[in-house]
Structure 1
Amino acid sequence: MKSKVYFYNMRAKRRSENIINKVGRLFDAAGFKNAISKDDLVAVKIHFGEKGNNAYINPIYVRQVVDKIKSCGGKPFLTDSNTLYKGARSNAVDHLVTAIENGFAYAVVNAPLVIADGIVSKDSMEVEIRKKHFESVKISSNIYYADAMIVMSHFKAHEVAGFGGAIKNLAMGCAPAAGKQQQHSTLKPVVGENCRACQSCLRNCPEQAISMVDGVAYIDPEKCIGCGECISMCYYRVIKPQWETDMDAFTERMTEYAYGAYKTKKENKIAFINFVMNITPLCDCTPWSDAPLVPDVGILASFDPVAIDKASFDLVNSQAGLAASALGDANSGLAPGEDKFKAVHPKTNGLIQLEYGEKLGMGSGDYELVEL
Structure 2
Amino acid sequence: MTAKVYFADTRANVKQNMIDKLQRLYERSGIKDIVAPKDLVAIKVHFGERGNTAYIRPQFIRRLVDKVKEQKGKPFLTDANTLYVGSRSNAVDHLQTAIENGWGYSVVNAPLVIADGLTGKEYTNVEVNLKHFQEVKIGSGALHADAFIAISHLKGHELTGYGGVLKNIGMGLGSRSGKQMMHSDVRPRINLEKCTGCSKCHAWCPGEAIALRDEDRKSFILEEHCIGCGECTVSCPFGAIAVNWKTKPDIIQEKIAEYTMGVLKHYPGKCGFITFVNNITPECDCCGWNDAPVVRDIGILASLDPVALDQACVDLINQEHGLPGSRLEGQPHGSDKFRALWPHADWTRGLEYAESIGLGTRKYELIKI
Q: Which TM class, normalised by the smaller chain length?
A: 0.7 to 0.9
> Rg larger in 1 or in 2?
2
Q: Which residue number corresponds to residue 70 of structure 1?
A: 69
Q: Which residue number corresponds to residue 253 of structure 1?
A: 255
**C-alpha separation in 2, matches of 1:341 and 1:266:** 31
**C-alpha separation in 1, matches of 2:104 and 2:15:** 26
Structure 1 segments unaligned to the other structure (5+ residues): 189-204, 212-219, 229-240
**C-alpha separation in 2, matches of 1:100 and 1:264:** 29
Paired letter, 1:364: T
Q: Which residue number corresponds to residue 203 of structure 2?
A: none
Q: Which residue number corresponds to residue 55 of structure 1?
A: 54
Query: What SS is found at the alignment partner of 2:248?
Result: helix
Query: What SS is found at the alignment partner of 1:50?
Result: coil
Q: Which residue number corresponds to residue 197 of structure 2?
A: none
Cα RMSD (Å): 2.0
* Structure 1 length-normalised TM: 0.83
1:186-232 CA-partner distances (Å, limit 9, x unpaired): 389xxxxxxxxxxxxxxxx9799xx9xxxxxxxx9xx5432x4xxxx
Query: What SS is found at the alignment partner of 1:307?
Result: helix
**C-alpha separation in 1, matches of 2:271 and 2:348:** 22
**C-alpha separation in 1, matches of 2:316 and 2:174:** 28
**C-alpha separation in 2, matches of 1:157 and 1:29:** 28
Contact 2:176 2:234 (C-alpha < 8 Å) held by counterparts: no
Q: Which residue number corresponds to residue 359 of structure 2?
A: 362
1:263-303 CA-partner distances (Å, limit 9, x unpaired): 12122x01000000000000000000100010000000001
**C-alpha separation in 2, matches of 1:176 and 1:207:** 12
* Structure 2 length-normalised TM: 0.84
Q: How does 1:183-332 map to 2 (within 5 A)?
A: 183-186=182-185, 223-226=241-244, 228=245, 246-267=248-269, 269-328=270-329
Q: Which residue number corresponds to residue 4 of structure 1?
A: 4
**C-alpha separation in 1, matches of 2:14 and 2:168:** 31
Paired letter, 1:290: D
Query: What SS is found at the alignment partner of 1:78?
Result: strand
Paired letter, 2:336: D
Q: Which residue number corresponds to residue 130 of structure 1?
A: 129
**C-alpha separation in 2, matches of 1:54 and 1:15:** 27
Query: What SS is found at the alignment partner of 1:21?
Result: helix
**C-alpha separation in 1, matches of 2:87 and 2:281:** 20
Q: How does 1:2-151 map to 2 (within 5 A)?
A: 2-12=2-12, 14-151=13-150
Contact 2:250 2:350 (C-alpha < 8 Å) held by counterparts: no
Q: Which residue number corresponds to residue 193 of structure 1?
A: none
**C-alpha separation in 1, matches of 2:325 and 2:34:** 41
Contact 1:186 1:250 (C-alpha < 8 Å) held by counterparts: no
**C-alpha separation in 1, matches of 2:332 and 2:16:** 29
Measured after TM superposition, the shift of residue 311 of structure 1 is 0.2
Paired letter, 2:45: I
**C-alpha separation in 1, matches of 2:283 and 2:95:** 22
**C-alpha separation in 1, matches of 2:186 and 2:10:** 37
**C-alpha separation in 2, matches of 1:87 and 1:29:** 38
**C-alpha separation in 1, matches of 2:16 and 2:351:** 31
Q: Which residue number corresponds to residue 192 of structure 1?
A: none
Q: Which residue number corresponds to residue 199 of structure 2?
A: none
1:292-335 CA-partner distances (Å, limit 9, x unpaired): 0100000000010000000000000000111311223xx6xx10
**Residue 66 to residue 38, structure 1, CA distance change in 2 (3 Å):** same
Q: Which residue number corresponds to residue 343 of structure 2?
A: 346
**Residue 276 to residue 358, structure 1, CA distance change in 2 (3 Å):** same
**Residue 58 to residue 369, structure 1, CA distance change in 2 (3 Å):** same
**C-alpha separation in 2, matches of 1:207 and 1:39:** 37
Paired letter, 1:128: E
